[in-house]
Amino acid sequence: MSERKMAAAALEKLKEQAGINRASLRGKTLILLGAATCGRAVGALEVAKTFRDEIERLQLDAAVVEVGCMGHCYAEPMAIIYKPGFSGICYGYLNEGVASRLVQDFLVEGDPCVEFALAATGINDFIPTFQDFPRGIVEQKTVMEHCGFIDPENIEDYLAVGGYGSLAAALDREPSGVIKEIKASGLRGRGGAGFPTGLKWEMCSSSPESTRYVICNADEGDPGAFMDRTILESNPHLVIEGLAIAAYSAGAGKAYFYVRAEYPLAVERIKKALQQAAGLGIIGKAMLGAEYSLDIEVFQGSGAFVCGEETALIASMEGEPGLPRHRPPYPAVAGLFGKPTVIDNVKTLSYVPLIIKNGADWFKATGTEKSPGTAIFALAGKLVSTGLTEVPMGTTLSQIIYDVGSGIAGNKKFKAVQIGGPSGGCLPEETLETPVDYESLSKAGAMMGSGGMVVLDENDCMVEIARFFLDFTQKESCGKCTFCRLGTKHMLDILERITKGKGQPEDIDLLLELAEDVRAGSLCNLGKTAPNPVLSTLRYFRREYDAHINEKRCPSLMCKDLIAYYILPDKCERSCDACVGSCPVEAIFSNEDRIKVVNQEKCVKCDSCMVACPPQYRAVIKVSPPEEVLRREREKGVK
């Protein structure tokens, strides 16, 4: 019997047993509760306990299954209830009270409580999928298809949806055949640079060295990015399967998950998934009865952002400081312990089983010619619907922000989208029709990056945004390269002066000069791309820099040193002391006429007075430059 037939036969037996075990769910009410980090942060575990307690109290034939993230993080805690005789219904914004009511009203009395429903779902072999959700018009979930719909801590759920079938199929082929399929698909690394995945595998597999390694890079550290964490928490077996196929193709007998320790739930679930897969003979010695063996280990990183760069990651795994190394040689030629090493991130490896299952042509049918497939983004910032989304490459920024993210929160105006992580670029409204792919974003002044997307509104100051992201990359610089270590510090000092109203006209030219020096003189991409937020904001928002420098004014009223709070006497209700009571430093007082005045020397500009002022008055305003406030206070007669 061939390895393929042996692997397939072994897998079929596992799937058959999983089907028998899952048959107990048939005819039973299922409550699938999102229990990834996003759900847990807002009380998902307490909601799950309420569901279980009420079900036990009422002696109902129902099961609560803790699943991963469905992508709609804005509506967490979320749950899908599938009750026989009803379509599956997705509920959001849950709490213990709503959970108790759903058990009583829906599970017992049959009232689906549509006032709490977000969407209807379908269900196939106990695996629900969204059928009616507005953002589903744009989304195309492939990697995320089962995220939030299967139990990430139960391998039988993964087997039930065809899991590890691609691994069995890969074992039927020569490693070169698997690599050929990946190369034909055009899959590019989803970690930032977009290097062809199949070519990387081929470089490693063709090495004369017999000892080779494969590493899953899950060191996700971008502000506003949580794609890798969500996938690991929601469907860890998919990533394991992709990692195993990569290792088989590259001829590696050892593979690693490099996960930052700040992801405790992801670490816990990936370790449990590995134990389950090894226990069933899917991973380990003689995988699925084939001759190939693979040992997979979890390595927890210490959280250094620079260790997302592959050579710095390798250094940290070898017990050395996480410092980037010169390339060439590339890791595929000489990587971990000097041996050929394939390093792919979570998203890249997650596509691999899908390509093996459906074929290269299937993958290329989505996306663009040079950027096939889908892209996964973490939507953060000033959006109505934050969360995780997967869309075809070539989808425009406008579609993602307005069709998927539901537009800007609070009826504010869109200002910019920061894409590509801290080293990405800030793109304005006129670029919203830019397609999301590697070439188009680069041309616009940004980059694909790992998939973080932070949306900014009219209240965001682009000079301060550039300062914020440069502050992050400067602090995360490993310090190896002089231009990165000192150049970003000089740039940061200039930006801080500008946001404090102390900038000079010549600072703009100096920023541009330093940016080019840092890009040219840095070894790794952290340094080479660190100036991007500054360059993109100078390109698109030069007027804001000019206002800060020439007028000592922040048009967005965000930079604290360039704003002051003022209480309009004609709108202030003199008998109301809401602002006075809300001020944490007692900077607000009443003059002889009961007109409220802000002591500018004591004011810490915390915004509490604006929040506390009743909406019918709206007497508290922010003014820039601060000198305007002093003039108005003089008009009040305040000395």
| pLDDT tens-digit series, residues 336-392 | 999 999 999 999 999 999 999 999 999 999 999 999 999 999 999 999 999 999 999
Q: Where in the chain is the domain with CATH 3.40.30.10?
A: 27-125
CA distance 473 to 459: 23
Task: CATH 3.10.20.600 in the chain: give the residue spans.
Answer: 374-457
CB 331 within 8 A of CB 203: no
Task: Quick: pLDDT tens for 547-583.
Answer: 999 999 999 999 999 999 999 988 998 889 999 999 9
132 pLDDT more than 60: no
**What distance in Å separates the CA atoms of residue 613 and residue 524, rounded to the nearest whole number?**
49
Q: Does residue 201 have a pLDDT over 90?
A: yes
Which amino acid would we find at residue 540?
Answer: Y
The superfamily CATH assigns to domain 27-125 is Glutaredoxin (3.40.30.10)
Architecture of domain 462-550: Up-down Bundle (1.20)
CATH of the domain spanning 374-457, picked from 3.90.600.10, 3.20.20.70, 3.10.20.600, 3.90.550.10? 3.10.20.600
Report the alpha-carbon distance of residue 56 to residue 375 in Å, rounded: 42
Query: Which residues face 330 on adjacent strands?
Result: none
**Global confidence as pTM:** 0.92
Query: What is the CB neighbour count within 10 angstroms for residue 528?
Result: 18
Q: Are 34 and 78 in contact (CB under 8 A)?
A: yes
CATH of domain 563-636: 3.30.70.20
Residue 248 in this model has a pLDDT that exceeds 60: yes
| Cα angle value 537/540/545 (rounded, 5°) | 55
- Given a contact cutoff of 8 angstroms between Cβ atoms, the answer to whether 423 and 449 are in contact is yes
Domain with CATH 1.20.1440.230 in the chain: 462-550
Given a cut of 90, whether residue 164 has pLDDT beyond it is yes
Specify the higher pLDDT residue, 133 or 49: 49
Pair 2, 172: CB distance under 8 Å: yes
CA angle in degrees (0–180, nearest 5) for 92-95-100: 105
The two structure tokens encoding residue 414: 């869109």
Nearest Cα to Cα of residue 180 among 381, 355, 411, 442: 355
**Residue 592: how many CB atoms within 10 A of its CB?**
7
pLDDT of residue 594: 82
> What is the C-alpha separation between 314 and 320, in angstroms, rounded?
9
Question: In a 3-state reduction of DSSP, which class is residue 122?
Answer: strand
- State the DSSP H helix or E strand holding residue 622, giving kind and residue range, or none if neither: strand 620-623
Domain(s) labelled CATH 3.30.70.20 in the chain stretch across 563-636
By DSSP bridging, strand 588-590 and strand 341-345 are unpaired
- Kindly state the tokens that stand for 534: 């500054």
Give the containing element (helix H, strand E) for 215.
strand 213-218
Amino acid at 507: D
User: Per residue in 462-487, pLDDT tens?
Assistant: 999 999 999 999 999 999 999 999 99
Of the segments 2-6, 57-61, 287-291, which one has the largest average pLDDT value? Answer: 57-61
**Tally of helices (H runs) and strands (E runs) in the chain:** 26, 19
Query: By C-alpha distance, which of 479, 482, 487, 480 is closest to 530?
Result: 487
Q: What are phi and psi of 215, to 5 degrees?
A: -125, 130
Q: What is the radius of gyration, based on Cα positions, of the chain?
A: 27
The rounded distance, in Å, linking the Cα atoms of 316 and 323 is 8
133, exposed or middle or buried, with CB in 10 Å at 0-12, 13-18, 19+?
A: middle
More confident: 56 or 303? 56
Report, as an integer, the average pLDDT of 245-258: 97
For tokens 């509920």, what's the residue?
91
Residue 144, pLDDT > 70, answer yes
Asked if residues 388 and 378 have their Cβ atoms less than 8 Å apart, the reply is yes
Helix (H, G, I), strand (E, B) or coil at 156: helix
Packing angle of the helix pair 532-540, 462-476 (nearest 10 deg): 170
Average pLDDT, whole number, for the chain? Answer: 91
Q: Which CATH architecture has domain 165-362?
A: 3-Layer(aba) Sandwich (3.40)
